[in-house]
Chain A
């Protein structure tokens, strides 16, 4: 024992209580921003509730047709056919409501991600300082295991849909910021110069030249954002998010392979539909 300690001087350093510190920090933060979190919480759950209520109210067959039509318009006939068959299958195996909840969560999370991500991405190309601050945070956010986000989310917003939503946004916002920034930076210098030479203001340059030209890259970011949101929404079932994730989770808890598989297939179907629709509309812009 003694020898091992001498050979390993690191043993003499008392354990640094990183866990306690983070705990304490989160706790005190919770007290400070409690009112804000309650507002956010109310807003998010209200928005989610309203949206899923509306979607549930639409007769399933009509909604399937609408989604297929959107797929046709934005992507292709094949994607439309797949959407129709896939969604019909989900309805058939009785996971329609769960899927609606999952879709709603994704839509709201992606909406918030874009709301945060697009301006942040744009700002990062204007101000080097923003870039320098935001990029390391993004690296941190993306390398941190996804499950870890669930814990502070619960602390601030309690178990349930809102926490899941927050964790999902944190998880899915990085590609939006990164690819918006990248897309704008990739706009050829001579386009910017031409725009400047015609006397554009910064805002005109952004809206008339930079954003349209960056659109394919930004859409790739949106596509990734949706995919990440979908994967996180499933994981977030562990903190009570509901939806298809909950089905999969039940399958795990009961070691019910059939149930788990049905939930999993439904997730895959949604993933493919969302991916193809956003990817094709990205290509169309090029």
Chain B
């Protein structure tokens, strides 16, 4: 339903947008257009699709056009050209009445400076969207309190926003959006005005909320760490142009342009890369029916000194060391039961390298990566951990 499709959105600020648009199409640069027409190119031909339930982060420095782009998506700013689709609805073609309905029911927006109404109480602020929808007083308050409960501020319903700290105010801003239960959540630098520690809390809370609610989130930020932490995919913008759209890891490991490469240079990879990103596929696995000889042969063929045993459904069972397998063969044992180590160190795919370092320090065998159903995904050896930290040089190809 709520897939968002942005097609060739361009926004030009100034009084000669048509002229500037033509120049832009001819490939004339933003600076030259500014000089000749005094018009500013805010967003230049942005296109992307956001899946339902995805957290899509648009990252860029100030002046990169990210705030303009997000506002084009709910037409707080009219795009000069291009189209925005939400599901089957063409947002850019909507009449005022339809647009109001879209804004009331399908989406909500969190703002950098909170933009809470100082003359209303916290509860009244949270119920604002519902009031605009035309809900009755009682239902409004009920839903507002529910939303406040979600962000942990139920006890503050009757205070004025001015009495709350920045972090709490933004929770109110978030609750104001959640109260209308929108399909899409637009978040414009929502955490940028907060202290680093509180910002981190809010990020964690958003992730926790999102895992429960599964909304489509469009998140704007100028903070790369935040982008990488929150985003399922990240779009990096510069001068109104989207430079790259990729999953956080791909952005880090394969920056497509020089700009992105310079940007991600200083990122502490160990905080961003996950077990899934650095694990290697097992060259061979043992099956429960395999005897010691079979196991040993598999190891020899793959050139490894140990092997994980997994069930038919890929569930992790245990680990067999080559030395032990050899001894079992020499002792002419029929099965591997007494050489199978079942007590293993494992990790989930989304653990960051930072957390893995500790695991690796204590583990004597490779660490197995298993998902929540104990399915074997791959393994992490010390070598893969280190090579994960070395970024591949970006290759500049203009395709």
B108:A213 contact, CB within 8 angstroms: no
A197:B108 contact, CB within 8 angstroms: yes
Interface hits, B111-143 → A, CB 8 Å: 111, 113, 115-119, 128-129, 131-133
CB proximity of A154 to chain B, nearest CB, Å = 45
Cross-chain contact of B132 among A190, A191, A200, A213 (Cβ < 8 A)? A200
Q: With A194-B109, A204-B132, A208-B131 given, is the CB distance from A199 to B115 under 8 Å?
A: no
Cα A204 to Cα B132 in complex, Å, equals 8
Is A77 at the interface (CB under 8 A from chain B)? no
Cα A212 to Cα B99 in complex, Å, equals 25
Q: Tell me which residues across on chain A come within 8 A of B10, comparing CB atoms.
A: none
Q: With A191-B115, A213-B117, A213-B119 given, is the CB distance from A197 to B131 under 8 Å?
A: no
Is A283 at the interface (CB under 8 A from chain B)? no
CB-nearest residue of chain A to B131: A208
CB proximity of A9 to chain B, nearest CB, Å = 47
Is A201 at the interface (CB under 8 A from chain B)? yes
Q: Tell me which residues across on chain A come within 8 A of B76, comparing CB atoms.
A: 193, 196-197
Cross-chain contact of B104 among A190, A193, A199 (Cβ < 8 A)? A199
Cα A196 to Cα B129 in complex, Å, equals 10
CB proximity of B164 to chain A, nearest CB, Å = 16
Question: What band does the interface of chain A fall in when counting residues whose beta carbon is under 8 Å from B?
Answer: 10 to 19
A212:B132 contact, CB within 8 angstroms: no
Cα A213 to Cα B103 in complex, Å, equals 23
A-B contact sample (12 more), CB < 8 A, given A197-B109, A198-B103, A198-B108: A188-B115, A190-B111, A193-B76, A194-B109, A194-B111, A194-B115, A195-B128, A196-B76, A197-B103, A199-B99, A199-B133, A212-B119
Q: Hey, what's the 0/1 contact readout for B88-118 against A, CB within 8 Å counting as 1?
A: 0000000000011111110111010101111
Cα A204 to Cα B117 in complex, Å, equals 14
A199:B101 contact, CB within 8 angstroms: yes
Is B352 at the interface (CB under 8 A from chain A)? no
Cα A199 to Cα B100 in complex, Å, equals 4
Cα A204 to Cα B131 in complex, Å, equals 10
Cα A209 to Cα B119 in complex, Å, equals 9
Cα A200 to Cα B105 in complex, Å, equals 12
CB proximity of B40 to chain A, nearest CB, Å = 18
CB-nearest residue of chain B to A201: B100
CB proximity of A103 to chain B, nearest CB, Å = 31
CB proximity of A192 to chain B, nearest CB, Å = 9
CB proximity of B80 to chain A, nearest CB, Å = 19
CB-nearest residue of chain B to A196: B76
Interface hits, A176-210 → B, CB 8 Å: 188, 190-191, 193-201, 204, 208-209
B115:A209 contact, CB within 8 angstroms: no
CB proximity of B121 to chain A, nearest CB, Å = 13
Is B74 at the interface (CB under 8 A from chain A)? yes
Question: With contacts defined as CB atoms under 8 Å apart, how many contacts are there between chain A and chain B in the complex?
Answer: 56
A191:B104 contact, CB within 8 angstroms: no
Which of B101, B103, B119 has the most chain A CB within a 10 Å cutoff? B119
A190:B108 contact, CB within 8 angstroms: no
Cα A201 to Cα B76 in complex, Å, equals 13
A213:B118 contact, CB within 8 angstroms: yes
Q: Which 10 A-B pairs have the closest CB atoms?
A: A199-B103, A199-B104, A194-B115, A197-B109, A190-B115, A199-B100, A212-B119, A198-B129, A198-B132, A200-B132
A209:B117 contact, CB within 8 angstroms: yes
CB-nearest residue of chain B to A215: B119
CB-nearest residue of chain B to A189: B115
CB-nearest residue of chain A to B124: A208
20 A–B pairs (Cβ distance < 8 Å), ordered by A: A188-B115, A193-B111, A194-B115, A194-B116, A194-B117, A195-B128, A196-B76, A197-B74, A197-B76, A197-B186, A198-B103, A198-B104, A198-B109, A198-B129, A198-B180, A199-B100, A199-B103, A204-B132, A212-B117, A212-B119
Q: Tell me which residues across on chain B come within 8 A of A212, comparing CB atoms.
A: 117, 119
Q: With A190-B113, A193-B111 given, is the CB distance from A198 to B128 under 8 Å?
A: yes
Q: Tell me which residues across on chain B come within 8 A of A190, comparing CB atoms.
A: 111, 113, 115
Cα A204 to Cα B79 in complex, Å, equals 25
Cα A1 to Cα B108 in complex, Å, equals 82
Q: Tell me which residues across on chain A come within 8 A of B107, comparing CB atoms.
A: 197
Q: Tell me which residues across on chain B come within 8 A of A208, comparing CB atoms.
A: 128, 131-132
Cα A191 to Cα B125 in complex, Å, equals 12
Q: Hey, what's the 0/1 contact readout for A205-229 against B, CB within 8 Å counting as 1?
A: 0001100110100000000000000
CB proximity of A164 to chain B, nearest CB, Å = 38
CB proximity of B169 to chain A, nearest CB, Å = 13
Cα A123 to Cα B180 in complex, Å, equals 32
Cα A188 to Cα B113 in complex, Å, equals 11
Cα A209 to Cα B120 in complex, Å, equals 10
Q: Tell me which residues across on chain A come within 8 A of B128, comparing CB atoms.
A: 195, 198, 208
CB proximity of B193 to chain A, nearest CB, Å = 11
Cα A200 to Cα B119 in complex, Å, equals 17
Q: Tell me which residues across on chain B come within 8 A of A200, comparing CB atoms.
A: 100, 132
Cα A89 to Cα B368 in complex, Å, equals 94
CB-nearest residue of chain A to B105: A199
CB proximity of B289 to chain A, nearest CB, Å = 62
Interface hits, B160-181 → A, CB 8 Å: 180
CB proximity of A92 to chain B, nearest CB, Å = 43
Q: Tell me which residues across on chain B come within 8 A of A193, comparing CB atoms.
A: 76, 111, 115
Q: Tell me which residues across on chain A come within 8 A of B180, comparing CB atoms.
A: 198
Cα A2 to Cα B308 in complex, Å, equals 124
A199:B119 contact, CB within 8 angstroms: no
Cα A194 to Cα B131 in complex, Å, equals 14
Cα A201 to Cα B101 in complex, Å, equals 10
Q: Tell me which residues across on chain B come within 8 A of A191, comparing CB atoms.
A: 115, 117
Q: Tell me which residues across on chain B come within 8 A of A194, comparing CB atoms.
A: 109, 111, 115-117
Interface hits, A47-96 → B, CB 8 Å: none
Interface hits, A145-193 → B, CB 8 Å: 188, 190-191, 193
Cα A213 to Cα B125 in complex, Å, equals 14
CB proximity of B14 to chain A, nearest CB, Å = 18
Q: Tell me which residues across on chain B come within 8 A of A199, comparing CB atoms.
A: 99-105, 129, 132-133
